[in-house]
Structure 1
Amino acid sequence: MILIGQYDSPFVRRVAIALHLYGLDYEHRPWSTFGDAEKIAPHNPLRRVPTLLLDDGEALIESGAILDHLDEVAGPDRALIPRAGPGRRAALKLCALATGLADKAVSLVYERVLHPEVSPAWVERCRTQVAGVLDALEADRAPRATRFWFGDKIGHGDIAVACAIRFVREAHPGLFDPARWPALEAHAARCEAMEPFPGVIQVFIPPA
């Protein structure tokens, strides 16, 4: 398998971490959606990452769809998400909130670096959405005494939250307040300290 995309993307990173946790070998091509868009296009016409090329040549796009395939490969006993029922729905909701948080943080970067005139209304909307999701995640995580969100086993939601928080902190210094969201701070630190998180890192450097 070949994973296309840079690890400073929270979406690419969550896929790479799952690949490591599943023990699946892959080649990494750290292509940028801007500088390497034409390299990505033959595999993904959206020119987006992550894109995962399977050994038979099939290209999978979007992190959720890629992880769904990897869960099948790993099998139900090793999958990082329940197969069905309330547990699966809760995990998918957590993933949706975390990836939505990351998406809004990416939107704020694009607004800052791609537009000659920044829209204060759009920036405020995105920042409100980011803070709202962090508040909701904090309220859900704080009363849980378990090591990870839904127990003692790490799951896709745990990974997505940690990756999103790292991106927010690097792309928007000062936006994430550990004093306001201490349970999320502890959760992210716990994830980042375990393998393979430290080895799947590319520091985000905001474009000038």
Structure 2
Amino acid sequence: MQLIGMLDSPYVRRTAICLKLLGLPYEHRALSVFRTFDEFAEINPVVKAPTLVTDDGTVLMDSTLILQYLETLVDPAQRLVPGDPAERLRALRLTGLAMAACEKSVQLVYERELRPSEKRHAPWTDRVRKQLHAAFHALEVELAQVPVVATPDRIGEHGVTIAVAWRFHHLLVPELDFTAEFPEVASFSAQAEALPAFLETPPI
């Protein structure tokens, strides 16, 4: 399998880390949707990261759909999404909140880096910041009630996504530092980032 995309994308990075936790071998091709657009388009004309090229040549995109496919390749005991309905429901909620945080952080980065300053709309940016804050606040409440265990066999897709979202946000949107406000998320993310699968997959 080939994973296409840059690890500075939280969506690519969460997919790469999950591949490692699932024990699935893959080749990483660090192609950018900006700098190497044409080369990326030769693999996937939509140029969406991450893209996964399966062993039979099928091209998949969207990290959530890719991870759904990868889960089918391993024994149920190895899967990163719980099978128990109640545990699965909570894991999906946490993943959704973390994905929302990723999305809103990415929107702020694109607004700053790609949109000319004279065309930026302050009410829109304020709205995105509120949504971002709400996502991390909800994660803080959840982790304070029931912590996620940051070990390779228990972190799950939801834990990976929380840590990746947190690291991406604070690397790319450092002016909004939530460390003091959300200590549970900060502590969990620091523990997760110390795991081998994370250390081997830096966000660069």
Length-normalised TM-score, structure 1: 0.91
3-state SS of 1:122 partner: helix
Q: Which residue of 2 aligns with 1:189?
A: 190
Residue type at the aligned position of 2:51 = T
Q: Which runs of 5+ in 1 are unaligned?
A: 204-208
Q: Distance in 1 between matches of 2:44 and 2:111?
A: 24
Deviation by residue 1:94-135 (Cα, 9 ceiling, x = unmatched): 111111110111111111121112211111111111101111
Distance in 2 (CA, whole Å) between partners of 1:60 and 1:49 is 10
Equivalent in the alignment of 1:198: 199
- Asked whether the 8 Å contact 2:148–2:155 carries over to 1, the reply is no
Residue deviations 1:5-34, cap 9 Å, x none? 011111101110111111111111101111
- Quick one: structure 1 residues 48 and 155, their matched pair in 2 at CA, closer, same or farther if it must change by over 3 Å? same
Query: Offset at 1:84?
Result: 5.2
What RMSD in Å do the two structures reach over aligned CA positions? 1.6
Deviations, residues 25-61 of structure 1 (Å, cap 9, x unaligned): 1111101111122222243333110000011100111
| Residue in 1 that maps onto 2:114 | 114
**Where does 1:129-168 land on structure 2 (aligned, <5 Å)?**
129-145=131-147, 147-148=149-150, 153-168=154-169
Percent of matched pairs sharing the same residue: 38
TM-superposed deviation, 1:148? 4.4
1:19 partner letter: L
Residue of structure 1 in register with 2:23 after alignment: 23
Aligned residues: 201
Q: Give the 3-state SS of the residue equivalent to 2:78 in structure 1.
A: coil
1:30-109 matches, within 5 Å, as 30-83=30-83, 85-109=85-109
The letter of the residue matching 1:124 is D
